[in-house]
Amino acid sequence: MSSTAPKWPKRYALADCNTFYCSCERLFRPDLRGKPLVVLSNNDGCLISLSTEAKALGLKVGAPMHEAREIIRQHKVAVFSSNYQLYGNLSRRVMATLDEYTPDLEIYSIDEAFLDFSHVPPGDEEAYATQIRARVLRDIGIPVSVGVGRTKVIAKAASRAAKKLGAPALYLEGERLESTLRAMDVGDLWGVGRRSADKLHGRGICTAWDLRQHDNTALIRQLLTVTGERVRDELRGVDCIRQTDLAEKRMITSTRSFGKRVFDRRDLEEAVSTFTGFACEKLRGQGSVAGGLTVYLRAGSSMEGTGITAQVHWDSPTDDTGTVTREAIALVRALYRGGESYSKAGVFLWDIVPAGQAQTSFFAPPPPQASPLMGAMDAINLKWGRGTVKMASCGTKQDWRMLCEHRSGKTQLAWDDLVEVRAERS
């Protein structure tokens, strides 16, 4: 954008993919258009994405699979295990398209992004947003809803309202903003969760509009901390949620539930080694090193059990999988109690800094980092798939691995696996 661009008011658009994971699966199964389908969490534990038709049957996001099973069977709902490689691939394509429509794209999650709309002439917001939706739908096949407003909180509310209305796009300001907020429960606002909504309801602040009009700042702070105050101010058109810098994670985690109970220490070591490999790969991917490691084990069942952790901090941060894995295994051995059963494990990397500016200890010898070996490992795994090359301590049997009974077929694992077909009408 040139600096001579007209000074129009700041506006944001939120582009939000509709039931994203379901839409991704449906791309490869056009026969499921208009039919109910659900995507399951890792380990096939609960429902994380539901098509509109599935919601209409009374199924709920987050519901455990064993409670949903009967409805699913009765109505022949199509069921998929989650396939993050596919979703990530399609997400990148959607984001690349959105990027063409704004000088500043802020990717917020796998299926949502904020677009700076300041370059759109006032009055053209909905037309422009509608155009974006049509383009993404045509080129990629994923439906998105676009909400526009003076702040991010309003843009979020607008996209939610657009979905509800079945509209491709919605710009909220003036009277339309007021009537929409009056009809919206305060708990449906971005940043107001269930706990906070309960507190607000107790004080008679029931709708989004009630919160917007509430002048007792001290009370808002007391109930919701500064987070709630910011939501209220955003509703008033004050732009106060700064761009979250998602470029570098300050903490990297990798945790999984097991497919079945684990008793054996060696199995735990394998699992934790595997998660350590994933986490270090992410760490190197963002060009960082970590100074601390926490190992987490869940003893007992996934719901009633208790989590136990142990951590270690080292003087010179590292990104070397071998080094971190040795530490992780030592922590597993410290935590392990024979006779106990475990349902889940994980690793957290923290004290993360960019590799270049890591403060190394004067006394400690520099740890191996960014070695050619790690580079080669990452390159191979990127090309041939995660886990092609890994530490021996990760094991080969991996009995503890999670369930994925409904994974879509191998040919649909990655977009790039697809055969390109051109058809011409004669």
Partner DNA sequence: TCTGGGGTCCTAGGACCC
Binding residues for DNA restricted to 381-420, rule: CB under 7 A: 402
Contact yes or no for 324/332 (Cβ under 8 A): no
Contact yes or no for 26/406 (Cβ under 8 A): no
Site size for DNA (CB under 7 A): 49
Q: Does 152 bind DNA (CB under 7 A)?
A: no
Burial class of residue 28 in the structure, from the number of CB atoms within 10 Å of its CB (0-12 exposed, 13-18 middle, 19+ buried)? middle
Q: Given candidates 54, 120, 136, 189, which one binds DNA under the rule CB under 7 A?
A: 189
Q: Does 201 bind DNA (CB under 7 A)?
A: no
Binding residues for DNA restricted to 244-263, rule: CB under 7 A: 244, 249-257, 261
Binding residues for DNA restricted to 89-108, rule: CB under 7 A: 108
Of the ranges 38-46, 86-94, 326-334, 356-364, which one interacts with DNA (CB under 7 A)?
38-46
CB atoms closer than 10 angstroms to residue 282: 16
Half-sphere exposure of 39 (CA within 13 A, CB side): 20
Contact yes or no for 267/178 (Cβ under 8 A): no
Least gap, CB of 7 to DNA (angstroms): 29
Binding residues for DNA restricted to 337-366, rule: CB under 7 A: 343-344, 346
Complex with DNA: residue 35 or 259, whichever CB lies closer: 259
Contact yes or no for 97/137 (Cβ under 8 A): no
Q: Would you say how long the chain is, in residues?
A: 426
Least gap, CB of 169 to DNA (angstroms): 18
Residue found by looking up tokens 């760490």 in the block: 283
Q: Given candidates 89, 227, 360, 371, which one binds DNA under the rule CB under 7 A?
A: 227
Q: Does 132 bind DNA (CB under 7 A)?
A: no
Complex with DNA: residue 120 or 291, whichever CB lies closer: 291
Pairing status of strand 306-318 against strand 288-299: antiparallel
Give the Cα separation of 162 and 146 in Å (integer): 7
Q: Which residues of this chain interact with DNA, rule CB under 7 A?
A: 41-43, 45-46, 48, 62, 64-66, 108-112, 156, 189-197, 221, 225-227, 244, 249-257, 261, 278, 282, 301-303, 343-344, 346, 402
